Every structure is written in structure tokens, then in C-alpha cells.
Amino acid sequence: MSLNFLKSGRFLLTAGLLVVLAQGLWEFPSLQDYFSPNQQLTSKLRSAREECRKIENDLTSLRERVDYLTWFLADNGPDQKFSAHRMLALPFSESLRCLSPEISWHFTMYLAKKTQVRLQNKLKLLEALLQNIDLSLRPRSPQPNTAILPKKPGGLGPFAQIQAIQGQWLVYNSKLSKLTEQLTHLANDGYQK
């Protein structure tokens, strides 16, 4: 019984290791691209669209912070007006502004720079994702159409979607560079008592 138990244990161990090896190989991105390119392309395009949505939200947030800082410098008098609109946009910073304008300035500047760095990282991620998508579109098998998704009725084909996302990336990059220039200018001006 002991010898039979050892043989069955070795067999189960070997079978388990082979299952783990096969599962690991199946999860390998290059093999997934080879065996099911359409699923991978769809997944990458979905991920790129999600990153675009996040970038748009962060660009809006950064633009609002830069506008707030610009307004803050322009309205830097002893009788600074309380703005309900600004209170809704940046409630914590605006509530600090009444008590200590300098702390409010530095806090808002910190949040703007943090958003700027996050945007730069997201744009790099989107660029890498787009480069990865371009590599995945090359046919890997003798049939040239296996790596290309069919055009959906009423929608864009994969190449058009990639070009649209690349165009959006260029727009996002230019908007970020303009906002970065404005933020640098505001940081150099600084808050004067």
C-alpha cells in the first residue's frame, strides 16, 4: 500500500505541475495574441478608451485648478470675495482661503502639480498601450485577416479606432503642455501677501 501511495502521489504531483505550466503558458500575452488576436485587440482598445476617459477627467480637474489659481492671483486684494461657484469646485481650498490665503495657495498648487504628474504618467501609459496595439495588429499566421477585427455596423473598425485614440493622445498632450506652461508661470509668480 505504501508503494502504491507513493506512485499515485508522484503522478498527482506531476499532473498538477503540468496543469500549472499549461495554465501559465496560456496566460502568456504572446500566446494569447497568437491564438486569439481578436479578443486581445478588443481588450486593448477597451483599455485605451478607459484611459482616455480618465485623462479627460484629469485634464478637466487640472484646468479648473489652474483657472482657480489664476483667479486667486488676480483677486489678491484685502477684500477677497467669497465665491459659491469656487466653493463647489474646490470646497476645502476655498474654505482655507478665508482663514489663510497662503496655505490655500500652496495646497491648491500642490494638488495641481500632483494632477499634472498623474496626467503625464497616464499619457505615457496610453502611448505604451497604443504602441502595443500596433504590434498586435501584425498578422501572425498565414491568413492575413485573422488579426483584424471585422468592422462593426455603425461603428469604427479597429484601425480607425486606433487612429482616433492616437489623435486624442496628441490633443491631450498639447493641452497638458499648455496647462503645464500656465502652472509653471503661476508657480513662478507665486502668492504675494
What does pTM read for this prediction?
Answer: 0.66
Residue 41: band (very low, low, confident or very high) from pLDDT cuts 50, 70, 90 = confident
How many angstroms separate the CA atoms of 69 and 89, rounded?
Answer: 12
Give yes or no: residues 49 and 130 share one domain. Answer: yes
Regarding whether 179 and 162 lie in a shared domain, the answer is: yes
Distance CA 16, CA 95 (A): 61
Confidence check: pLDDT of 151 > 60:
no
Element (H, E) at 2: helix 2-27
Domain count for the chain:
2
Position 130, amino acid: L
Q: Tell me, what's the pLDDT at 61?
A: 92
* 94 and 20 housed in the same domain: no
Q: Which domain holds residue 23?
A: 1-35
Nearest to 186 by CA among 88, 91, 111, 99: 111
- Alpha-carbon span 162 to 88, nearest angstrom: 37
78 and 27 assigned to the same domain: no
Contact in structure between 157 and 151 (CB atoms under 8 Å) = yes
Alpha-carbon distance of 193 to 183, in angstroms, equals 19
* Residues 62, 102 within the same domain: yes
Candidate ranges 12-16, 32-36, 86-90; pick with highest mean pLDDT: 12-16
* 112 and 183 assigned to the same domain: yes
pLDDT value for 101: 74
Of 56, 7, 1, 32, which is closest to residue 140 (Cα–Cα)? 32
pLDDT at 172: 95
Please give the pLDDT value at position 85. Answer: 60
Confidence of residue 155 (pLDDT cuts 50, 70, 90): low
Spatial distance between the Cα atoms of 38 and 92, rounded to a whole number of angstroms: 47
Question: CB count, 10 Å around CB of 109?
Answer: 20
Tell me the CATH number at 67: 1.20.58
- Regarding predicted confidence, which is higher, 48 or 95? 48
